[in-house]
Copies of this chain bind each other. A is one copy, B any other.
Amino acid sequence: MSHNTFGHLFRITTWGESHGPAIGCVVDGCPPLVPLTEADIQPWLDLRKPGGSRFVTQRQEADRVRILSGVFDDGNGPVTTGTPISLMIENTDQRSKDYGEIARAFRPGHADYAYQAKYGVRDHRGGGRSSARETASRVAAGAVARKVLGDGVRIRAGVVQLGPHRIPDEAIDFDAVYDNPLFAASAEVVPAWEAYLDGVRKAGSSIGAVVALEVTGVPAGWGAPLYAKLDAELASGLMSINAVKGVEIGAGFAAAELSGEDNADEMRLGDDGLPVFLSNRAGGVLGGVSTGQPVTARVAFKPTSSILTLRQTIDRDGQEVDLRTKGRHDPCVALRGVPVVEAMAAIVLADAKLRHRAQIG
């Protein structure tokens, strides 16, 4: 993808730094006549919003979205007009003093050194452009993408592994996700996971996690071989999320241990004349094109790099220093990553829907 733009026909361009006056997003290529108000977007932002529980950063942001363009009410309620939709979220709780000590030192595991090496300058305040705060723009754009996809396409994600603790595949319940502060895809694991994550948090440490994604209602035919394959676009979109280090489609890495007999999903014929697949190792994508099965993926998040333990690093002046990253951080960045994973899936799929319609009609 190009710079800060993601998508080909349904395109988002995001801007803004963690501690600047605002962040935002231009959603371009949206079809016209889609009913849209700020109330369609805000609930998704509220899910990702900081300060919601003791398991996420205590930064207080209202994360109120404003629609600045692209929507018009011609008497039948506000609808998209087919022109760019500009979304803006003001930053209100930028305590830049929190970050003063990291202006010169490069925080291990963060983008600090890489940005400085590339650009020769970086907005160090709260991580600047590399802050996960940018993902609020993705979530806002994702809400628009969901409207483009319609209710028939259902996108759900949840935490299925927290550090060493995994939810067995057969116990995954996406309905549980937004009913617990851990975004866990199972109500049962919540008490134990809360205790575990409290320990991590109190130790000033952090932990990684895995988020699973399942999208139902995607018809057969979306995706454009060979380099715009649906799975390749999903991989691109999901890997672009802060802290993500791995993406699997369907059986993913487990497919490496499967035989051809166990891996290839057999087909029978359904009553509606569409195929019924007897399994879903493929994750709903074959040859880069959707098959009509649920699209499934798993995304690995690394642990938050901001921890209280003293760490060895270097600074801009070429000195070796030891650094402790104070501030307001998530003990597990993957939790608030759940709505972001959903949003990126929505954006990829809305784009795929329009691209498919373009070529096939």
Q: In the complex, what residue of chain B is closest to A266 when comparing beta carbons? A: B312
8 Å CB contact of A226 from B29, B129, B249? B129
Q: List B contacts of A120 (CB < 8 A).
A: 32-33, 360
A39 at the interface (CB under 8 A from B): no
- Interface flags for A3-37 (1: CB within 8 Å of B; 0: not) read 11110110101111100111110101111110000
Considering residues A287, A289, A290, A354, which has the most beta carbons from chain B within 10 angstroms of its beta carbon?
A287
How many chain copies? 4
Interface size on A, residues (CB 8 A): 153
Nearest-Cβ distance from residue A40 to partner chain B, whole angstroms: 17
Nearest-Cβ distance from residue A167 to partner chain B, whole angstroms: 13
Q: List B contacts of A163 (CB < 8 A).
A: 256-257, 259
Interface-lining segment among A55-63, A176-184, A201-209: A201-209
CA distance A260 to B311 in the complex (A): 11
CA distance A223 to B130 in the complex (A): 13
Q: List B contacts of A313 (CB < 8 A).
A: 266-267
Interface-lining segment among A44-52, A186-194, A299-307: A299-307
B275 touches A113 (CB 8 A): yes
A240 at the interface (CB under 8 A from B): yes
Considering residues A69, A79, A245, A261, which has the most beta carbons from chain B within 10 angstroms of its beta carbon?
A245
Q: In the complex, what residue of chain B is closest to A79 when comparing beta carbons? A: B121
CA distance A260 to B226 in the complex (A): 37
B86 touches A15 (CB 8 A): yes
Q: List B contacts of A110 (CB < 8 A).
A: 264, 286-287
A1 touches B86 (CB 8 A): no
B113 touches A286 (CB 8 A): yes
CA distance A118 to B289 in the complex (A): 8
Q: List B contacts of A134 (CB < 8 A).
A: 226
Q: List B contacts of A22 (CB < 8 A).
A: 68-69, 86
B83 touches A129 (CB 8 A): yes
Beta-carbon contacts under 8 Å, A251-301 to B: 251-261, 263-269, 273, 275, 278, 281-283, 285-292, 298, 300-301
Nearest-Cβ distance from residue A128 to partner chain B, whole angstroms: 7
A210 at the interface (CB under 8 A from B): yes
Given contacts A13-B26, A83-B129, A231-B239, contact A208 B257 (CB under 8 A): yes
Given contact pairs A32-B118, A111-B288, A232-B240, a sample of 9 additional A-B residue pairs in the complex whose CB atoms are under 8 Å apart: A81-B121, A81-B128, A115-B287, A130-B287, A163-B257, A236-B239, A239-B249, A256-B302, A258-B303
Instruction: Sort A-B residue pairs by CB-CB distance and give the 3 closest, nearest first.
Output: A111-B287, A109-B264, A358-B358
